[in-house]
Chain A
Amino acid sequence: MIEILATRCTACNTCVSACPDHVFDVGSPGELPLIARPDQCQTCFLCELYCPQDAIYVAVGDPDAIPRSALDSDPVGRIRHDYGWDGGTDDPLRYFWKLGPLLRQGVEISSARYALLLQAGKENGLREDGAPADAQAP
């Protein structure tokens, strides 16, 4: 579900170009873009990132998307702000290097958890695949 906020939109049509999936069409002169093909939306939020007026909102998870008003804080403009494209942050990519280390930490966590499980299984007489230790090979 895509919403264009008429109070903010300047009809610059940037979103028409920026959407990779041709969701929008140019409206009548001076009018808002048309949300012509919402079924092609991949919910990538990149139109929001490119909209200079924070005038678009893409809700998540049709058909039971939650209305904006029901959320704790107003999500409009949040994407552009979080990416640092609104000029609000000096160094928007300062933590980007942590991606690799954090990913690996997660891998270690899930791997260690499973290793413990296998260990416990062995102590309870289970084989690696969870079958009893004396089970016949398939």
Chain B
Amino acid sequence: MIFEHPDRKTADMDEISADVLIVGGGMAAGWAAVAAAKTGAAVVVADKGFMGTSGVTATAGPNHWWVPPDAGRREAAVRKRLETAFGLADPTWMARIIDITWRSIPELEPWYPFSGDGQGGVYRSGLRGPEYLRALRHYATSLGVRILDHHPVLELLARPDGSIGGAAGHDRLADRPWRARAGAVILATGGCAFRSGLLGSYSNTGDGYLMGVEAGAELSGMEFCIAYSISPAWLSTRTLPYTGARFFDAAGRQLDTPGWDRPREYLCSLAAAFRSGPVYADLHEAPRELPGVIREIQPATVAAFERRGLDMFRDRFEVKLFGEGTIRGTGGLRIADACCATSVPGLFAAGDAATREHIAGATSGGGAQNAAWALSSGVLSGQAASSAAARRSHSDRQSRLLSMGGAGLHPTGAVRPVDRKAVVQTAQAEILDPDKALWRSEAKLSMSAKWLEDAWEDVCGSLRGEGLDAVAARETAAMAATARWCNAAALARKESRGMHIREDYPGQDTDWSRRLITGGLETVYTQREEAPVSELAL
């Protein structure tokens, strides 16, 4: 039974205590919980939604970077990805991530219905979202992890020395606030797609970035937030059916769209086509076997058409590009050591909430690396957070805790109504509009900075949500803040690299073979990482 009536919850719900508190309920959170619990730590997971359906993992079916433990093959896999990482990835991290992924997935055997791989073996590299998270939930629970669904975290709590010692949030089903004390906290809150409608991303509003920065953490790679997926105009689905699609304009003329082997040209050509009107997809040339199996592989994709009375393989349908922000973009909380710690003691980051530059560099890492990263950074942070908690003294664990949350909770000026929709629309327009994102320039980015600054001032100065409404207010604040950091980083990186293309700086510049740190609340700062990437290697 998954529903626990709020009235029947135990009275101690408001004061929760744990060695490791994990914020989030996707695959990074799940693997972090498992890893921490295996060390014997008392683990609590606080998810905004339901751990099993929330986040982008649940609606996806992630394929993991999957390389057997053969030295030659692993080296080749690392080399291949290094070639497309534009100098910002690190081979040592890559090798570790591959290894942790390979060793972890088989642990799900008791809870996940693994099936064949078509060659007489077991297929383990890809897992379907709902079953994957159901399995992780069971695995974590079997190890004693306590899961708090519908317990969005609103802010981090710090000890007087600045280290993180807990979090506070709102229990949305019982409509009451809660607080947790913890030895260490992991942010596994996913990326931010600015409510673009991207499948599964409604709750991924960048809360972890905002909470992290408020606590003193830094971000890295926020300029790498340019990723889109094509879907029917009315609903984002997974993209499997569309890789072979032909595209047409409103007059029925076929567009000369480049193939999926040229991702940027493909995207630019579609973005240009959308400027002159609606674009339609036609799947008559899809792989022949696809119509027979798609329903079993991705039931939700079929439902998106069937429930509109359409036959996806016969009827031409209007499409749209859905922005993916930092979800399939790469940026996130900066990692300061080899175990997913942020620069703030007691605070760790995993999955899309953390930067993925270590393994993906200036590219997305989509289609294998991302899931492997979410899994492995989860495992690493879970283990490290447990050790960090064990090192805390008894008096540390009892210490006074200070609220770190600002925007949306404690405005700097008088509380006034803020047009939240307009704020989110500004973030979407400035960061996701393909015309701005795919062809960046000083002029466009400076103009965006102005709009984003205005939106942030409004939010920071006047927005306040109370009770349940604090959740929505914080989401608005987090999206505004995230957009501001993405834009500032894009403005600062005066070169083109990977997915970040500047019209005014079209070449890649060796001076910029460094990661770019961003952060700050009142004013945003950007700063090049002091050491070039090779020297950052472990």
Question: What per-residue 1/0 map shows which CB atoms of A71-82 lie under 8 Å from chain B?
Answer: 110010011001
Report the tally of A-B residue pairs with Cβ distances under 8 A: 206
B residues less than 8 Å from A84 (CB atoms)? 296
| Distance of A75 Cα from B296 Cα, bound (Å) | 15
Query: What number of A residues sit within 8 Å (CB to CB) of B?
Result: 60
Q: Does B74 sit at the interface, judged by CB under 8 A?
A: no
Q: Does B486 sit at the interface, judged by CB under 8 A?
A: no
**Residue among B128, B172, B262 with the highest chain A CB neighbour number at 10 A:** B128
Chain A binder among B35-43, B306-314, B342-350, B405-413: B306-314
Q: Is the CB of B308 within 8 A of A107?
A: no
Q: Is the CB of B173 within 8 A of A93?
A: no
| Distance of A18 Cα from B108 Cα, bound (Å) | 21
Q: Does B115 sit at the interface, judged by CB under 8 A?
A: yes
A residues less than 8 Å from B290 (CB atoms)? 102, 106
A residues less than 8 Å from B1 (CB atoms)? 12, 14
Given contacts A94-B296, A96-B128, A107-B261, contact A46 B2 (CB under 8 A): no
B residues less than 8 Å from A38 (CB atoms)? none
Q: Does B93 sit at the interface, judged by CB under 8 A?
A: no
A residues less than 8 Å from B52 (CB atoms)? 18
Q: Does B59 sit at the interface, judged by CB under 8 A?
A: yes
Q: Is the CB of B296 within 8 A of A78?
A: no
Among A17, A49, A95, point to the contact of B297 (Cβ < 8 A).
A95
Given contacts A70-B309, A106-B243, contact A92 B258 (CB under 8 A): no
Q: Is the CB of A97 within 8 A of B115?
A: yes
Among A66, A70, A109, point to the contact of B243 (Cβ < 8 A).
A109
Q: Is the CB of B307 within 8 A of A107?
A: no
Question: What per-residue 1/0 map shows which CB atoms of B453-488 lie under 8 Å from chain A?
Answer: 000000000000000000000000000000000000
Among A18, A44, A98, A130, point to the contact of B200 (Cβ < 8 A).
A44
Q: Is the CB of A109 within 8 A of B244?
A: yes
B residues less than 8 Å from A103 (CB atoms)? 240, 243
Min distance, Cβ B155 to any Cβ of chain A, angstroms: 19
Question: B-side interface residues toward A, CB under 8 Å?
Answer: 1-6, 48-50, 52-55, 58-59, 61, 63, 113-118, 123, 125-126, 128, 130-131, 149-150, 172-173, 197, 199-203, 234-235, 240-246, 256-262, 266, 285-287, 289-290, 293, 295-297, 299-300, 302-304, 306-309
Shortest 8 CB-CB distances between A and B: which pairs?
A: A106-B243, A111-B259, A20-B49, A82-B299, A106-B244, A109-B244, A20-B54, A61-B234
